């Protein structure tokens, strides 16, 4: 690019504009690099977007940049194009979107120094010499023996697993010129050609259809029942891409799904993959991003933000459990990773594979329009099909820590037969309600319209929305009564009750109160891998993706609340959850069973769940959505406002509505609000919303494009702020 005098920069601010600065004429311009920029009385980090010899602004008022932070671009042209599309589609600030595409480590003024990895090899692969070390220096022999079995060498992490004090041992071997190191610049790919799992006829047919379509952009939905072998198809497709020297992004919805998957990927492909998720430090995620960008690893395995990993030869994107809500980011830059991934694949003309046992209704609708290719996997490679959902009518039943007598009967039968039991309860803590039996006082959050949840292990009442915590009162704050009781059931109480009832059985609990890292989750699940009888309690973290063949019974507690939810997606989510949880059982050599406790066994949706499969139910739900004019047969944009006072939030939305009403074609839209949000007060601020709904997407976009210049003048402040949410998960 020719040298130029003026350049525009993206800065991570909620402003729909770019910023012009002056660059010295003798300084080279690097689009996509970070610069230190003077901003007000301080400095900001900016990404250079473009440069030219002229500026529309007064040249005398344009400040010069302070310095360039990067020798080369940290965000390539493709990612800048994707960021521009996201900014336009989701109506988000371009500066915030551009920085969303970078790892957090690079969003400030830190220098960008590529992280290189050392690999140690044997300098003298002499078996007799190595054998001689066994008696004289067992620790040196241990290292040399391991290196002799890995011709490609071992990294520091691998050597530490062999001997925590590996560094001193390796230094001694280096001084004797037995071991040498080199930079690991190229990926080490290990593909066992003769030891791959045998494919079922359905898996084989699916791959036969898929593989010829891998040379161009297309969206492929792998619609397979739980346990049907979708992961093996992913791995075969990855193997094909790697054989062509291409790279792959493989997304999973949350950290809890990565343990078994990491082991399978490592067994199949050695070390040529990087991992990135929220459980890692910023530097660890940056390191994974940098290794993938430089081609040192060829597979990026991670959660939502891993989608923005850069590389020069991306050849495939995989979105596992594509229906999962975790792919939606609802704060900061609002976007849906699945939809952005599809756009990225389209821009690069590469295939994208979506997979799920319970696909989202949006994805199924696209398949019915022949927009996506759809592949069905209706059988498990193992002997038994996923178990049908049995309804346990618990009206007039006695309960112990959330379980009815019939449920205990099922649990005890499976434990007696050396089976493992999974119990799903999507409510952590001990009890969701604490109240005074005398006056009706309840423990409420000071900052949110929500009750505080009792966490008995730490004797604390905690808000799961804002984190507010207080000690459990000994007497009622309102009337002084000492009879304060708790109601409802959470995973903590369920765990304590089951431990007391089954003292000789291992009871494991998995939720965000006890799982802080992938290592902690792996440790908790170790008992399941042994196949010994045990009870596993968990929330959404165990609802999908895990494969433990010894689980023979899945139990779902407290599913009834979804039957009366205000969300139009409640039925879809309930069906997805129940089929996902029930599908955890019966994956081994024994038939599985799945039961759901309900007080509404006659409800039409409950009857459908017990008698029909997910695809039939999804078709009915799509028909309901079509009749009601809800997504995916309409598009929704929500304007949200929050303020210190509710009236201020509503007033700002009235201002926004007044602007929208001046646009042509506004009458083609349905406008709902302004109105208070379902949870009106959260984190000390009052929230309200204004929704636009239309079956005419072009009309909706036209109204927004006409209105945005005026809307941008309605600046946010500490007293009242507002944001736009395109394709929100709920109304």
pLDDT attached to residue 562: 85
Where on the phi/psi map is residue 118: left (φ > 0), alpha (ψ -120 to 50), or beta?
Answer: beta
Q: What pLDDT shows up at residue 383?
A: 76
- DSSP-assigned letter for residue 386: P
β-strands 273-276, 534-538: how paired?
Answer: unpaired
What pLDDT sits at residue 249? 97
Using pLDDT thresholds of 50, 70 and 90, give the confidence band for residue 1: very low
SS3 653: helix
CB of 708 within 8 A of CB of 88? no
Q: What's the whole-number mean pLDDT along residues 546-574? A: 88
pLDDT value of position 61? 79
| Contact in structure between 250 and 300 (CB atoms under 8 Å) | yes
3-state SS class at 358: coil
Mean pLDDT value across residues 60-64: 82
Length of the chain equals: 731
Return the closest-CA partner of residue 349 out of 314, 305, 309, 300: 314
- Torsions phi, psi for 484 (to 5 deg): -100, 125
Rounded to an integer, the average pLDDT of 576-587 is 90
Query: Which pLDDT band holds residue 3 (cuts at 50, 70, 90)?
Result: very low
Strands 179-183 and 118-122: antiparallel
What is the mean predicted confidence (pLDDT) over 676-680? 92
**Cβ contact 51:78 at 8 Å:** no
Residue-level pLDDT at 185: 59
Q: What percent of the chain has pLDDT over 70?
A: 95
Question: What does the alpha-carbon distance between residue 288 and residue 584 come to, in Å, rounded to a whole number?
Answer: 31
How many CB atoms neighbour CB 182 within 10 A? 10
> What are the distances in angstroms from CA 256 to CA 36, 322, 357?
38, 15, 18
* Residue 682 structure tokens: 């959260």
The confidence band for 601, taking pLDDT boundaries of 50, 70 and 90, is very high
Q: How far apart are CA 612 and CA 542, in angstroms?
A: 23
Provide CB contacts within 8 A for 63, sequence distance 6+: 21, 22, 37, 38
Whether the ω angle into residue 370 lies within 30 degrees of 0, i.e. cis, is: no
- Higher-pLDDT residue of 712 and 356 is 356
Residue 352 pLDDT more than 80?
Answer: yes
CA separation for the pair 544, 60 (Å, rounded): 59
Query: Does position 151 have pLDDT exceeding 80, yes or no?
Result: no
Around Cβ 604, how many Cβ atoms within 10 Å? 11
Q: Indicate if the pLDDT at residue 586 is higher than 50.
A: yes
Q: What does the pLDDT read at residue 526?
A: 72
ω before 451 within 30° of 0 (cis)?
Answer: no
Residues contacting residue 194 through CB under 8 Å, at least 6 positions apart = none
pLDDT at 520 > cutoff 70? no
**Cβ atoms of 422 and 437 closer than 8 Å:** no
Q: Return the exposure string of 673-698: e unless at least 16 CB atoms fall within 10 Å of the residue's CB, then b.
A: bbebbeebbbeebbbbbbbbbbbeee
Report residue 608's pLDDT band, with 50, 70 and 90 as the boundaries: very high
Of 302, 222, 237, 227, nearest to 269 by C-alpha is 237
First to last CA, the chain: 47
Quick one: pLDDT at residue 2?
Answer: 43
pLDDT value, residue 519? 61
593-598/551-556 β-pairing: parallel
- Binning pLDDT at 50, 70 and 90, where does residue 518 land? low
The residue-averaged pLDDT of 670-697 equals 93
- Residue 687: the pLDDT is 95
109 band by pLDDT with thresholds 50, 70 and 90: confident
∠ at Cα 101 (97, 103), nearest 5°? 130
Q: What is the DSSP string of 206-271?
A: HHHHHGGGTTS-EEEEEEE-TTS-HHHHHHHHHHHHHHTT-EEEEE-SSGGGHHHHHHHHHHHHBT
Q: Average model confidence (pLDDT) for the chain? A: 88
Three-class SS of residue 197? coil
**What is the sign, positive or negative, of the torsion defined by CA atoms of 97, 102, 104, 107?**
negative
Phi–psi pair at 517, nearest 5 degrees? -155, 170
What is the residue-wise DSSP string for 100-159?
HTS-GGGSSS--------EEEEESS--HHHHHHHHHH-HHHHHHHHHHHT-TT-B-HHHH
**In this predicted model, what pLDDT tens digit does every residue of 361-371 receive, in sequence order?**
999 999 999 88
């Amino acid at each position: 690019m020719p040298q130029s005098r003026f350049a525009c920069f993206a800065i991570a601010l909620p402003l729909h504009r770019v910023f012009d600065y002056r660059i010295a004429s003798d300084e080279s311009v690097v689009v996509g690099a970070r610069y230190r920029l003077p901003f007000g009385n301080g400095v900001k980090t900016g990404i250079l977007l473009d440069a030219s010899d002229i500026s529309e602004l007064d040249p005398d008022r344009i400040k010069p940049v302070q310095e360039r932070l990067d020798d080369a671009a940290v965000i390539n042209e493709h990612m800048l194009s994707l960021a521009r599309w996201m900014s336009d589609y989701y109506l988000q600030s371009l500066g915030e979107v551009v920085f969303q595409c970078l790892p957090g480590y690079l969003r400030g003024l830190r220098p960008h120094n590529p992280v290189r990895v050392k690999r140690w090899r044997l300098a003298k692969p002499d078996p007799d010499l190595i054998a001689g070390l066994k008696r004289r220096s067992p620790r040196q022999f241990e290292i040399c023996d391991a290196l002799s079995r890995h011709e490609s060498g071992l990294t520091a992490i691998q050597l530490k697993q062999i001997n925590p004090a590996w560094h001193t041992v390796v230094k001694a071997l280096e001084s004797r010129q037995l071991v040498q190191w080199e930079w690991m610049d190229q990926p080490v790919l290990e593909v066992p050609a003769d030891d791959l799992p045998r494919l079922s006829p359905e898996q084989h047919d699916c791959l036969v259809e898929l593989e010829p379509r891998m040379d161009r952009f297309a969206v492929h939905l792998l619609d397979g029942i739980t346990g049907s072998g979708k992961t093996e198809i992913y791995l075969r497709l990855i193997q094909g891409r790697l054989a062509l020297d291409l790279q792959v992004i493989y997304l999973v919805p949350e950290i809890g799904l990565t343990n078994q998957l990491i082991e399978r990927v490592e067994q199949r492909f050695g070390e040529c993959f990087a991992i990135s998720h929220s459980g890692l430090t910023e530097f660890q995620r940056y390191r994974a991003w940098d290794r993938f960008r430089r081609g040192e690893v060829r597979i990026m395995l991670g959660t939502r933000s891993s989608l923005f990993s850069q590389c020069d030869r991306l050849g495939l994107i995989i979105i596992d459990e594509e229906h999962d809500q975790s792919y939606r980011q609802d704060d900061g830059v609002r976007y849906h990773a699945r939809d952005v991934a599809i756009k990225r694949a389209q821009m690069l003309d590469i295939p994208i594979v979506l997979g799920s046992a319970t696909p989202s209704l949006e994805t199924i609708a696209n398949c019915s329009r022949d927009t996506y290719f759809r592949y069905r996997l209706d059988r498990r490679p193992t002997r038994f099909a996923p178990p049908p959902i049995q309804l346990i009518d618990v009206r007039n039943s006695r309960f112990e820590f959330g379980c009815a007598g019939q449920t205990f009967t099922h649990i005890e039968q499976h434990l007696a037969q050396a089976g493992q039991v999974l119990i799903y309860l999507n409510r952590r803590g001990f009890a969701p309600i604490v109240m005074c039996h005398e006056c009706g006082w309840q423990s409420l959050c000071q900052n949110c319209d929500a009750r505080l949840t009792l966490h008995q292990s730490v004797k604390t009442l905690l808000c799961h929305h804002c984190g507010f915590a207080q000690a459990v009162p000994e007497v009622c704050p309102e009337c002084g009564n000492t009879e304060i009781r708790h109601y409802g059931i959470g995973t903590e109480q369920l765990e304590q009750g089951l431990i007391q009832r089954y003292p000789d059985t291992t009871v494991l609990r998995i939720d965000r109160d006890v799982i802080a890292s992938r290592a902690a989750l792996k440790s908790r699940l170790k008992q399941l891998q042994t196949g010994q009888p045990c009870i596993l309690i968990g929330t959404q973290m165990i609802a999908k993706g895990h494969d433990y063949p010894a689980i023979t019974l899945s139990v779902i507690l407290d599913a009834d609340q979804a039957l009366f939810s205000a969300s139009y997606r409640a039925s879809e989510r309930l069906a997805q959850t129940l089929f996902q949880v029930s599908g955890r059982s019966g994956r081994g050599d024994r038939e599985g069973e799945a039961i759901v406790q309900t007080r509404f066994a006659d409800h039409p949706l409950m009857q459908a769940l017990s008698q029909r499969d997910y695809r039939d139910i999804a078709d009915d739900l799509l028909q309901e959505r079509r009749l009601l004019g809800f997504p995916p047969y309409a598009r929704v944009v929500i304007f949200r406002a929050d303020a210190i006072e509710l009236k201020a939030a509503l007033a700002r939305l009235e201002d926004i509505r007044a602007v929208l009403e001046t646009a042509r074609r506004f009458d083609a839209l349905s406008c709902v609000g302004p109105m208070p949000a379902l949870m009106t007060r959260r984190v000390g601020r009052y929230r309200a919303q204004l929704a636009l709904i239309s079956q005419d997407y072009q009309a909706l976009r036209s109204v927004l494009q006409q209105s945005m210049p005026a809307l941008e003048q309605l600046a946010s402040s500490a007293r009242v702020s507002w944001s736009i949410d395109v394709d929100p998960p709920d109304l």
